[in-house]
Every structure is written in structure tokens, then in C-alpha cells.
Amino acid sequence: MSTISNSGATWRNAVVTFWALTAYIGIWHSMQDMVVGLIRWFFVPIKEPQQEAARKKYSWRDALYFGDRQMIYESRPL
């Protein structure tokens, strides 16, 4: 009996998930998310050399005036 109840719960979960996906996100946007996620998984950004990273250090005065730019750049999508 537990196999039938597990199967029923699995199907109910699949139906509710598909309903939520179509109602709140949309099929087209879901497909776009999957394609973009797959492409970003294959193409990893190249890390810059250590010399370049050392020259881009900011002082505390820059951080007070401009804000934390490194955090802004890291939070942006590719």
C-alpha cells in the first residue's frame, strides 16, 4: 500500500509543480532559464592574472566614496 501512496504523492507533486511553473513563470521563460543555465555551466569565465587583481585594489577612501564596487560586480549576472 505504501507504493501506491508514494506514487500518488509523486504524481500530485508533479502536477502541482507543473501548474505553478505555468502559472507563475511560464513555459518560455523556464526554457530560457534552462538554456542560459546550461550555457553558463559550459562556459566558465576566465580568471584574471594576479598582477591585474593586485592593481585593482581600492583604498578605504574609495570604498567610502564609491561604495563596495567589488561586491556590485560579483553580484551581477554574466
pTM above 0.75, yes or no: no
Q: Which pLDDT score, from 0 to 100, does residue 1 have? A: 67
The SS3 of residue 68 is coil
Which pLDDT tens digit goes with each residue over 63-72?
A: 777 766 666 6
Q: Please check the confidence at residue 19 and state whether its pLDDT lies above 70.
A: yes
Is 53 buried (19+), middle (13-18) or exposed (0-12) by CB count in 10 A? exposed
**Residue range 9-16: average pLDDT?**
95
Q: Please check the confidence at residue 10 and state whether its pLDDT lies above 90.
A: yes
The domain limits of the chain are: 2-75
